[in-house]
Structure 1
Amino acid sequence: MIKPLSEALAERGYDTLTAVQQAVTAPELHAADLLVSAQTGSGKTVGFGLAIAPTLLDDSERLDRAETPLALVVAPTRELAFQVMRELGWLYAKAGARVVSCVGGMDMRDERRALERGAHIVVGTPGRLRDHIQRGSLDMTGLRAIVLDEADEMLDLGFREDLEFMLGEAPAERRTLMFSATVPPAIATLAKQYQREAVRVTTTTGGSQHADITYQAMQVAQADAENAIINVLRFHEAQNAIVFANTRMAVSRLTARFANRGFAVVSLSGELSQTERTHALQAMRDGRARVCVATDVAARGIDLPNLDLVIHADLPSNPETLLHRSGRTGRAGRKGVSALIVPPKSAKKAQRLLKTAKINAEWMSAPSADDVLRRDEERLLSDPVWSEEISEEQRAFAAQLVDRYDAERIAAAYLAFYRSRHSAPEELSAADLPAAPKERQAFGPSTWFTLSVGRADGAEPRWLLPLLCRAGGLDKTSIGAIRVQPKETYVEIAQANAADLIAALGPDGEIEDGVILRQMDRAPDIKPSRPAERRGGKPGADKPRRIMPHSAGPKRKPKEAGKPSRAGSDTKEATYARKSGRPSAKPGAGRFDATEGTKRKPRKPEAKAFRGGGDEPPRRKKR
């Protein structure tokens, strides 16, 4: 590793590199284009900073005077661009690098002047960088490396055209490094088009997603969703927490609710200006705020230190968003909690998200008011204040308290004072909580039986199941698959209960009303059902329907003159007369205007003569 960068890492306390940092700094990859997929929070920024160092510094330890940029780093959001700028700033400080940012929402004139003074590394967002290139203020002729950070997010945000423009304007001999949490087909296509034999580097496999994050799926009643979020915030009392919602309206509502309950809260949504966003994030970093309510797009790329808790007030739309949200915590070896608020109607969606993302979450109830109060007591008893040295002033005041009140009164007052500084927890409903979704277990050893009724007899599993339970004294867990066929039904019975069922029915095997049960020698060979069967069609719906070609259909007989098209049908004039109450027209007397209800006269021949260039048109009478 180059000496100035290794010294900077040592000063920052980097004893060992992360997996992605070790992978991209391998000696054999110093000149290669890279397509890297790594989890959020795995140290990608420092990783690509180290990866491009040999390209920028060559064999020297310091960079020459800043002129045209040597490296261009593209990030999806302003916050991520500023974060990358800070990271590369300290990493390349000893190498004499000058890092400049170009992001939307900032003064473009200041950025142009900074570029004119010279820069080694330019970090920016796609739209603003393209604007500088088109205006001629960003010279890319000396570019040696381009880094696309969070490339998948940039495509999701609609920056594909901007990225293709910049990659097309850059020198052909530059290195191109793409870093992405996932590699969808769009990223693979972009890499194939603009990279030269890119080396694929993957560090997301071989372990669970975000091993330092504890996932919790909290079941709540529908009306208690927001109350549960308040209790989760109170239960953990995290130094920094972020609550994700799907809409701006939900962000505004939750922010107002939390502020009314005494939480130090800020919000992030698309309706905020860049100045407001910057102030909100700074409040989180310096401790003036502890809860941030945000939408997915507004929170992309932000890195909050000491973020210990992520709450999904609304479930994300896909597993990738779930991982991106949760990746805000559990960074750099710190532990974090990702809590999903799951009302009854969202239980199946939550299970699908967790399964697709390959996450093992703990299904649990949200903290109750008693749980929060007990947690407060635990925090109070373990507070470091108990082991601190007592000053003389404190000792004198403590003596006054002991003289005036007994120990129990003093302790109770201290507890009440401690609780008064925190929001009171909410009472949650204990009724109608959804059961935790369970994976379908294998039925186990079984014996197959056949019933003498099928679809033609109206057989359905919903009435066959209780019928079997009553007749054989079985529990529904002892009955497996029920496959209704056109003339019979196959039933799977647990092997342990098969003998009891046979004994209960006797030798004739009759259940009731002529329904006969017979044991089968082996499992039936059931063919895939037709669409009509899967939809629960009527008896006989499995028969193929004969479809006749148009030419083979019956021919219509020609209509006889003066005869209605069908029995009892009216002519147009008769229909009008019947509906309007007016007398019908006589044959040849003109036709009726349906809008006016009056008879319109036929067009006069003079009008036709005029169109052909003949006589003058007839004059209209004045009304």
Structure 2
Amino acid sequence: MPFPTTHPALARALETQGYREPTPVQAAVLEAGDGHDLLVSAQTGSGKTVAFGLAAAGALLGEAERFGHAETPLALVIAPTRELALQVAREFGWLYADSGARIVTCVGGMDARREQRALASGAHIVVGTPGRLRDHLERGNLDLSALRVVVLDEADEMLDLGFREDLEGILDTTPDSRRTFLFSATIAKDIATLAKRYQRDAVRIDTIRRDTPHGDIEYRAVRVAPNEIENAVVNILRYFEAPGALIFCSTRESVRHLYGALRERGFSAVQLSGELSQKERSDALQALRDGHARACVATDVAARGIDLPDLGLVIHAELPVNKATLLHRSGRTGRAGKKGVSCLLVPYTRRRKAEQLLASAGVQAEWSGPPTADEIRQQDQQRMLADPLFAETPTPEDLVLAERLLEGRTPEQVAAALVRLYRARLPEPEELLDDGRGARPERPERRERTREAYQRPEGEAEGIWFRLPVGRGQNADPKWLVPLICRLGHVTKKDIGEIRIFDRETKFEIHPDVEPRFRKAIASASEGDVRIEAAGAPGPRPAAAPRGRPGGRPSGPPRRGPPKGAKPRGPRAPR
């Protein structure tokens, strides 16, 4: 349906930007009409910034075509992060361009004196983060006495980040006559309490479909050996070749490591984490928007509120901690009607955790192994043959150069050179292990089984035994256990002796010469849930049970007296 009636200046802006019909949240907000407070829960990427921008127009402009002289602010938008605040300011910039709105941003990490001068010059709309806004308020730089509209964007995230006191300090200084729009992914108890205190008869709008996941996102769960996550990220990036990809890690250290690994392999990547300066973060985001970078490695906090164009792929290099994080990460793609892919990398040791996570989020994921090098090269061939470059009309200069290339060369030689040139710009795919186990491993038997994965050569000295909490039930396999042990323990394959895989754990030997170094390396090293610990030597392999009584006991008269090592019983009490 076409956009409902909006302010003429904003209607022109929507038309210029190519908006033909409203998203569900925009339609619901416009239908609520002027004069009401709004309590809105909407899905990430649903167009909520434009929604509250349109909803505020009536209170800010009324019947006027343009704003008057900028003095004290008429609208205040509060967002949890710098990136989201700057993004809101950009959206408002084009939405209110024809109305002559003066928009000022106040965010942490930027020049506070420049913001002070901008506020002193007058503003119609102020967009900022809670801490910086309260700082300007307490210093007397920000006057909220004339506010007509206050917007709390991603209020749940602001409370999670500890901004409750700042929000309350700001809202307590605003006029009672203001309209308050509260947008949140979920309306939990603390959000409801905030709304009850600062809103009046708010219209409740809920456009989130909780019975089905985001329809524009295809979820994939990719089985991977714990020591091959980095290589799996490489192959997924190469397989999809999305214009933009966001790769999530749990820690800053993980971000640094994966970012360095991708750059080393020739990917145009940037990183986002809390340790970067504001300029570094802004430059990284701009590189993504300009197309100079195609992959961004980020932590959850750094990526909060980021809206990137053409983001077709999200990779969870480390599993999300809960379903909210899974849905929020994945919601960075599949926005504004575009399709997207969300890939979870699932180490064999964490399959059950991943299945529980997907089930709690109501997500049906397609399970598979990582893309193979052959599959990636096949994709490369198809992409090359379908390259729009071949459909372009050549210029006269192109034709002259083409004729010169064909002088003394066959068409096959020229085409082969083009193929080599095309491949040269692509990072090489990695060779990965996948044993094809698509189904959940069968429940192990109660009896402890063992397998001799590696055996110590005859005559070689016995090593020192260690254990990993990974066994048959977690698809333990020497093909990925050995590289994992080598990396965590700073040893090589020749330093590892016998390996014995049981149902719930694996025991292995380390050569005595390297044992002190190995023990020191594993003291602080772990791989997800996998941590190496010292262990006693496993017992001898169970021999075949002798014939006779069930359970392997020899036939004959039963043994009399207490079992060996048992304490003698005292006299039996009289009945």
Of 235, 256, 270, 2:274 maps to: 270
Provide the rounded CA distance (Å) in 1 between the counterparts of 2:125 and 2:13. Answer: 17
SS at match of 1:106: coil
Q: 1:192-231 to 2 correspondence within 5 Å?
A: 192-205=196-209, 208-231=212-235
Q: Alpha-carbon deviations, 1:488-544, whole Å to 9, x = none?
A: xxxxxxxxxxxxxxxxxxxxxxxx98xxxxxxxxxxxxxxxxxxxxxxxxxxxxxxx
* 1:410-559 matches, cutoff 5 A: 410-431=414-435, 434-437=437-440
The one-letter code matched in structure 2 to 1:212 is: D
Q: Secondary structure at the match of 2:357?
A: helix
Give TM-score scaled by structure 1 length.
0.68
Identify which of 8, 19, 39 aligns with 1:3.
8
- Percent same amino acid at aligned positions? 57
Aligned-residue CA RMSD (Å): 2.1
Rounded Cα–Cα distance in structure 2 between residues aligned with 1:153 and 1:87: 20
Task: Map 1:101-250 onto structure 2 (within 5 A).
Answer: 101-205=105-209, 208-250=212-254
Call closer, same or farther: CA 1:290–1:191 in 2, change over 3 Å: same
Q: 1:236 to 1:160 in 2, by over 3 A?
A: same
Aligned length: 443
Supply the distance in 1 between the matched residues of 2:211 and 2:340 (Cα, whole angstroms): 17
Answer whether contact 2:274 2:301 (CA < 8 A) is retained. Answer: yes
Residue 396 of structure 1 and its aligned partner are, at CA, apart by 4.6
Q: In structure 2, the residue corresponding to 1:422 is in which secondary structure?
A: coil
Distance in 2 (alpha carbons) for counterparts of 1:96 and 1:109:
24
The CA deviation at 1:438 is 9.9
Corresponding position: 1:331 with 2:335: yes
Distance in structure 2 (CA, Å) of the matches to 1:185 and 1:438: 40
2:387 aligned with 1:378: no
Q: TM-score w.r.t. structure 2 length?
A: 0.74
Contact 2:45 2:331 in 1 (8 A): yes
AA of the residue aligned to 1:221: A
What is the identity, as a one-letter code, of the residue corresponding to 2:68? Answer: D
In structure 2, the CA distance between the partners of 1:397 and 1:145, relative to structure 1 (3 Å rule), is: closer
Contact preservation (8 Å) 1:351, 1:437: no
Contact 2:216 2:339 in 1 (8 A): yes
Moved more, 295-304 or 53-62: 53-62
What is the DSSP-based 3-state SS (H/G/I as helix, E as strand, rest coil) of the residue aligned with 1:298?
A: coil
Alignment of 1:38-53 (within 5 A): 38-53=42-57
Deviations 1:377-420 (A, max 9, x none): 00011012222233444445544555544444443332222111
Give the drift of 1:102: 0.6
- Asked whether the equivalents of residues 230 and 258 of structure 1 are also in contact (C-alpha less than 8 Å), the reply is yes
CA deviations on 1:358-387 (whole Å, 9 max, x unpaired) are 122111221100011000000011012222
Shift of 1:210: 2.1
Q: Which runs of 5+ in 1 are unaligned?
A: 441-460, 464-511, 514-623
- Equivalent residue in structure 2 for 1:296, among 285, 296, 300: 300
2:355 pairs with 1:351: yes
Amino acid at match of 2:130: P
Distance (Å, rounded) in 2 between the aligned partners of 1:48 and 1:462: 59
**One of 95, 101, 107 as aligned partner of 2:99:** 95
Contact kept in structure 2, 1:344 and 1:434, CA below 8 Å: no
CA distance in 1 between counterparts of 2:190 and 2:242 reads 38
Equivalent-residue separation in structure 1 for 2:68 and 2:421 (angstroms) = 61
Structure 1 position 312 matched with structure 2 position 316: yes
The CA deviation string for residues 28-51 of structure 1, in whole angstroms up to 9 with x for no partner, is: 441111110001110000000011
Going from structure 1 to structure 2, the CA distance change for 1:72 and 1:439 (only over 3 Å counts) comes to farther
Q: Which amino acid aligns with 2:438?
A: A
8 A contact 1:102–1:125 mirrored in 2: yes
Q: Secondary structure at the match of 2:301?
A: helix
Query: Whose radius of gyration is greater, 1 or 2?
Result: 1
Superposed displacement of residue 193, structure 1: 1.8
Deviation at residue 149 of structure 1 after TM alignment:
0.3
2: CA distance between counterparts of 1:357 and 1:438?
22
Q: Relative to 1, partners in 2 of residues 1:206 and 1:396: Cα closer, same or farther, differing over 3 Å? A: same
The 3 A distance-change label for structure 1 pair 436 and 153 is: farther
In 1, the alpha carbon distance for the partners of 2:119 and 2:163 equals 23
